């Protein structure tokens, strides 16, 4: 009831194997979050208690408004998103289908990794710099007063060095590793099965019968 019908982007999303029942569920959730408005703003995410615990809460909420994730041409952050945008972001977390071929699987994986990449690359320049990575680590460790900033930094630096060694090999003393590009990012995740880690699977809610 009340789900926007007949708009082209929604039907293309329907091909993303989210069933109409799931869309209805998501729509209800959207209405709950938006308090019956047509759009959601960042503040609306404050009403979710489970999310409060999450250290990277800020980045997750940010991801919903990131225009790169919303597949919009321009750059930067949107102020508010409507239900279509909400579904677009949710589609990054859809689970794999049994009947996907190689090419689809590859595209699937790239999409998810791109989403993750955007989460790290906060200044939208297409590279994850050392500072940006440190940022993420600090957020992940935030709230624990016993862990000093130094530890967070060393964790970040260590990981960055490993990333560099994978991507660029041995660097000369005067070479500066600028940052992880998306291609490097993909290389790092080769061989790791992220598709099964980064999805939210709906239970089959067998609410009896639609009749159309």
Partner 1 sequence: MEVLCTLGQVGAVWVAVVLGLVMLPSALGISLGISEAYMWVLVKTLEWATIRLQKGAKKPQLQMPRTPTANGIIERDETPMEKEIALLHRADFEFSHIFYFCRKGFEAIVEDEVTQRFSSEELLSWNLLTRTNVNFHYISLRLTVVWVIGVVVRYCFLLPLRFSLAAIGITSMIVGTTIVGQLPNGSVKSYLSEVVHLTCSRILVRALSGTIHYHNKENRPQKGGICVANHTSPIDAIILTNDGCYAMVGQVHGGLMGIIQRATVKACPHVWFERSEIKDRHLVTKRLREHVADKSKLPILIFPEGTCINNTSVMMFKKGSFEIGGTIYPVAIKYDPQFGDAFWNSSKYNIVSYLLRIMTSWAIVCNVWYLPPMVRKEDEDAVQFANRVRSAIARQGGLTELPWDGGLKRAKVKDTFKEEQQKNYSKMLVRNGSVG
Residue 27 or residue 67: which is nearer to partner 1 going by CB? 27
From 121, 118, 139, select the one nearest 130 (Cα to Cα): 121
- Provide, rounded to whole angstroms, the least separation between the CB of residue 121 and partner 1: 12
Report the interface residues with partner 1, using CB under 8 A.
1, 21-22, 24-26, 28-29, 32-33, 45-57, 60, 90, 93, 116, 119-120, 136-137, 140-144, 146-147, 150-151, 154-156, 158-159, 162, 188-189, 192, 194, 197-212
Q: At 212, is the secondary structure helix, strand, or coil?
A: coil
- Provide, rounded to whole angstroms, the least separation between the CB of residue 97 and partner 1: 14
- Provide, rounded to whole angstroms, the least separation between the CB of residue 179 and partner 1: 14
Residue 74 or residue 99: which is nearer to partner 1 going by CB? 99
Residue 67 or residue 139: which is nearer to partner 1 going by CB? 139
- Provide, rounded to whole angstroms, the least separation between the CB of residue 67 and partner 1: 19
DSSP symbol at 195: G
The position carrying tokens 């029942």 is 21
Alpha-carbon distance of 164 to 179, in angstroms, equals: 8
Residue 8 or residue 52: which is nearer to partner 1 going by CB? 52
Residue 203, sorted as left (phi over 0), alpha (psi -120 to 50) or beta, turns out to be beta
């Amino acid at each position: 009831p009340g789900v926007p019908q007949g708009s082209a982007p929604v039907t293309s999303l329907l091909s993303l194997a989210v069933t109409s029942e799931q869309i209805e569920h998501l729509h209800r959730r959207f209405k709950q979050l938006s308090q019956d408005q047509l759009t959601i703003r960042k503040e609306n995410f404050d009403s979710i208690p489970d999310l409060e615990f999450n250290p990277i809460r800020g980045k997750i909420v940010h991801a919903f408004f990131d225009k790169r994730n919303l597949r919009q041409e321009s750059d930067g952050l949107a102020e508010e998103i409507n239900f279509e945008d909400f579904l677009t972001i949710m589609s990054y977390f859809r689970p794999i289908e049994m009947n996907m071929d190689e090419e689809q699987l590859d595209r699937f994986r790239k999409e998810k990794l791109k989403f993750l990449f955007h989460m790290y690359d906060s200044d939208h320049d297409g590279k994850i710099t050392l500072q940006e990575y440190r940022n993420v680590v600090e957020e992940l460790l935030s709230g624990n007063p016993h862990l000093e900033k130094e530890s967070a930094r060393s964790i970040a630096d260590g990981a960055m060095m490993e990333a560099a060694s994978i991507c660029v090999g041995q660097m000369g003393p005067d070479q500066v590793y600028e940052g992880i590009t998306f291609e490097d990012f993909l290389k790092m995740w080769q061989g790791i099965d992220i598709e099964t880690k980064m999805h939210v699977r709906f239970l089959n809610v067998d609410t009896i019968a639609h009749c159309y």
